[in-house]
Amino acid sequence: MLIYKIFRPSEWATMQAQGETAGAPVDITDGYVHFSTAGQVPGTLARHFADEGELYLLACNADTLGADLRWEPARGGALFAHLYRPLRMADVLWTRLISPGPDGHQTGELE
């Protein structure tokens, strides 16, 4: 199953330069990297990134992240994937630039 991480351009650039990241400021504060499923991405974008410009959507395979990935209740009691280790470039299957439009950020089709 694919899960998704949303980064601002500077956060994505830092990950590329360092080869891994503890995540965005909220991830560092919470102690884990936040992910969303395909169905959760629109809500995450609307709630946390509505006023942002271009963003990067990173896709990762949940099955290959191992025991460091935990599914825990979050927004509205829904289970969200949380990674309790740095996110590594090797974890990323693909990235996509997503731009804001009149109806919010457009991700295209996701799994």
Q: Please report, for the chain, the start and end positions of each structural domain, with discontinuous segments joined by +.
A: 2-100
Confidence bin at 106 (pLDDT 50/70/90) = confident
pLDDT at residue 101 in the model: 82
Note the pLDDT tens digit of each residue in 14-73: 999 999 999 999 999 999 999 999 999 999 999 999 999 999 999 999 999 999 999 999
| Alpha-carbon distance values, 44 to 16, 21, 32, 36, 47 (Å) | 23, 20, 16, 7, 5
DSSP string, 82-111: EESS-EEGGGEEEEEEE-EETTEE------
Task: Considering the domain delimited by 2-100, tell me its CATH architecture.
Answer: Alpha-Beta Barrel (3.20)
Q: Please state the pTM of the whole predicted model.
A: 0.93
Note the pLDDT tens digit of each residue in 71-82: 999 888 899 999
User: Which candidate, 77, 91, 80, places its Cα nearest to that of 26?
Assistant: 80
pLDDT at residue 107 in the model: 83
Residue count of the chain: 111
Handedness of CA 62, 109, 16, 18 (dihedral sign): negative
pLDDT at residue 39 in the model: 94
